[in-house]
Structure 1
Amino acid sequence: MSASNSTDRTNVTMAHADSRSKGLARNWWAIAIRAVLAAGLAIGIFRGSTYTLATLVLLFAAYVAADGVAAIVAGLLRMKRGEFWQTLIFEGTLNLFFAGAILVWPAIVATAFVGLASIWAVVTGAALLAAARRTCEAYVQGLLALAGLVSIVWGLLMASIGPTSDSAPDTVGWWLIGYALSFAAALLMLSCVLQRQYNQSAWCSE
């Protein structure tokens, strides 16, 4: 009897994991959008070589807000389908909170911005790692974890050896470019894998 119950619980757990993976694959486009937003941030900073610190901070806040909206929209769509949505809504809400905190503090100095950005990066990275643990496919799990680690490592490095109050805006800009390009690459690889998985699933169901 106990062996049967254990088997049933295992089957239910595997079914839930499979459902989450299919839901993630179905929303590959949302991850692609977030990759494009991160790449857009890097390109925007790179092309604007004369940006002041205030401009860089506002650009980053705009990116974080747009990324948050994309995460919340994807989370709401998953909620409507009865799929796992809590992590996306949490991450999106955190992004909007962070962007709002910057926008109401327009005279933010480099040190304070570095502190806020570091905390944001570590927390959002942890959310991605939590999402990776709920995925059953090893390659999808690995790419989700990679995106989470990129965010966490950048946040920790930003806090320990990142720009200070004496740093030039260019220094802050290159730190943001480094994060944006790395994060965009991880998300782009993930979205491509998920799109292929979704297309294969759709083809098999026909």
Structure 2
Amino acid sequence: MSETLIRYWWAVVLRGVAAVLFGLLALIWPDITVFVLVVLFGAYALVDGVLALVAAATGEHRGRRGWLIFAGVVGVLAGIVTFVWPGVTTLALLYVIAAWALVTGVLEIMAAIRLRREIHGEWLYILSGACSVLFGILLAVWPATGALALMILIGSFSIVFGVVLVAFGLRLRRLRQEHSHAGLGRPATA
């Protein structure tokens, strides 16, 4: 699993960039309508799910890809649900986002725990999962916070989550470079 993550570090970075862009859009237009929020969230969840499925499909370790496939399917389904029912109320959308954040966060924490013996810096992946779980819990506990507060919370979470994922992806890139240097007989750099 770590070799697959290291090889496809760019997919982790893309997920992070997508999260940051989504978060910035949510903060730039705080008076955004529920329909546009549904479309933005649906697009983000769909892209995130597809990227997770692509990462699972390109990996060599079939037995370890189950959780990545599950996370991808959940993301794709969350995206599809938001497009099929665009008239969903803020409260219903809130619970869809909360459930998605909880599932994604738990799966990321579980993956990071499995990786802790294989790579250094897995704590960034644990941190991104913990941010996702915390976000999901906050949304589920306080569902009636209003559209503006929801947009600020979603935007802030997405930016923090995205930055952490980008940092983790760049760490994976550095590990890939270290592996390639070590494979060529050159000393690995830190």
| Change over 3 Å in CA distance of 1:57–1:22 after alignment to 2 | same
Q: Provide the identity percentage.
A: 28
Kindly indicate whether the alpha-carbon contact (under 8 Å) linking 1:53 and 1:172 is maintained by their aligned counterparts in 2.
Answer: no
| TM-score, structure 1 normalization | 0.82
What is the deviation of 1:197? 0.6
* Match runs of 1:98-177 below 5 Å: 98-135=78-115, 136-137=117-118, 139-164=120-145, 167=146, 169-177=147-155
Match of 1:90 in 2: 70
**Runs of 4+ residues deviating >4 angstroms:** none
Q: 1:50 to 1:157 in 2, by over 3 A?
A: closer
- Secondary structure at the aligned position of 1:134 is classed as helix
CA distance in 1, matches of 2:143, 2:162: 20
1:74-117: per-residue Cα shift (whole Å, max 9, x none)? 11001xx3353222211111001111111111111111111111
Q: Which residue of 1 aligns with 2:22?
A: 41
Higher helix share: 1
Unaligned runs of 5+ in 2: 185-190
- 1:57 is matched with 38
Alpha-carbon distance, 1:49 to partner = 4.2
With normalisation by structure 2, the TM-score equals 0.89
1:179 aligns with 2:157: yes
Contact preservation (8 Å) 1:31, 1:187: yes
Q: How does 1:63-82 map to 2 (within 5 A)?
A: 63-78=44-59, 81-82=60-61
Shifted more, 190-199 versus 47-56: the winner is 47-56
Gaps of 5+ in 1: 1-19
